[in-house]
Amino acid sequence: MQGKIALEEHVAIDATLSDSQVFGAHVWDTLGPRLVDVQDMRLAEMDKYGIEMMILSLNAPAVQAIHDVARAVQVAQLANDALAAEVRKRPARFAAFAALPMQDPEAATKELTRCVKELGFVGALVNGFSQTGAPDNVTYYDLPQYRPFWRALEALDVPFYLHPRNPLPSWSRFYEGHNWMLGPNWAFAAETAVHALRLIGSGLFDECPNLKIVLGHLGEGIPVQLWRIDGRNGWMKAPHKYPAKHGVGHYFRKHFHLTTSGNFHTPSLVNAVAEMGADRVMFSVDWPFEDVGEGCDWFDKAQIGEADRVKIGRDNAIKLFKLKL
């Protein structure tokens, strides 16, 4: 399929490049240059495999792992200025998500507003929880101090991409002796799914009924669990004990959009479409951690209807991010 749009596609700046080495130390000679490249190798892969546009975002965990709040604000601004400079070179081929210093909700709101209104960014991508003030101080965004940020995001009418990161070592004793489960094998999905469910259960979407959240990797495992989350031990008729007014499935299907990033598996795609509808699933690769050719070859041949392929591959992203192509 020609004209695909991919939207979990990462870039590193000097201040964040080393954060990604752990995810590919054995291929760092190749992975590192791919992370900092935008206009050469990346563009050539896009042309070869029919990707018209990539929405660029900062690598992980990057800003979220900087517990010095002032430094987090500075790095976010540097990253966003760098992404904006790349987009200006080829605005027909690249757009960008804002990196945000969520350690400080007010600063994050200010930077989001700058990125959307001044730099023309199409949303934000945040790498999970933030470390705030101290290395082990983990902060999730369902907490009350983030409500003004969410209201500002809603008013700006742009999506928020909740991207994975690993749990901190001090919070992950259940992985001891099994570090193979960290990263994309398991911990990324588990951590991000918990964060998404926290947002839902907190009542955030009752207060901000027009919020739009994006999850990669076909929903971080949530779609296949929706029935059980809402219907557990159904004969007991026990209500959920959380502030939200409705079941998790209600909010997930109304407020969340999914991408195929790093999950090139047709049965999983079919499940996501069955749970969410084809209008809420979008194509992505997860450059440079996944291979553009593999992702595109899979998607172009996946056994789905052609109308759904066009929606997922292109049209849904144009509508959600208000792209002018």
Parallel/antiparallel/unpaired status of strands 160-162 and 130-131: unpaired
CATH superfamily of 4-321: Metal-dependent hydrolases (3.20.20.140)
Question: 254 vs 179, 197, 214, 246, 247, CA distance in Å?
Answer: 35, 14, 12, 11, 11
Parallel/antiparallel/unpaired status of strands 130-131 and 138-139: antiparallel
Residue 93 three-state SS:
coil
Average pLDDT, the chain: 97
DSSP string, 118-137: TS----EEE-SSEE-SSTT-
Choosing from 19, 37, 286, 308, the catalytic residue is: 286
pLDDT band (50, 70, 90) for residue 237: confident
Give the pLDDT of residue 39: 97
- 118 vs 241: which has the higher pLDDT: 118
Residue 20 three-state SS:
helix
Scanning the structure block, which residue is given the tokens 């409705």?
A: 246
Contact 264, 216 (CB under 8 A): no
DSSP 98: B
Return the bridge partners of 281, or none: 258
Which tens digits make up the pLDDT trace of 284-321?
999 999 999 999 999 999 999 999 999 999 999 999 99
Give the pLDDT of residue 238: 83
Distance in angstroms (rounded) separating the CA atoms of residues 186 and 171: 15
pLDDT band (50, 70, 90) for residue 234: confident
Give the pLDDT of residue 194: 98
Residue type, 139: T
Which tens digits make up the pLDDT trace of 160-197?
999 999 999 888 888 999 999 999 999 999 999 999 99
Catalytic annotation present for 286: yes
Distance in angstroms (rounded) separating the CA atoms of residues 243 and 240: 9
For the record, the structure tokens of 202 come out as 């907190």
List the end-to-end C-alpha distance of the chain, in Å, as a whole number: 16
Q: What are the residue boundaries of the structural domains of the chain, listed by start? A: 4-321
Percent of the chain's residues with pLDDT above 90:
95
- Report field, pTM of the whole predicted structure over 0.75: yes
Residue 8 has pLDDT above 90, yes or no: yes
pLDDT band (50, 70, 90) for residue 232: confident
Give the pLDDT of residue 323: 98
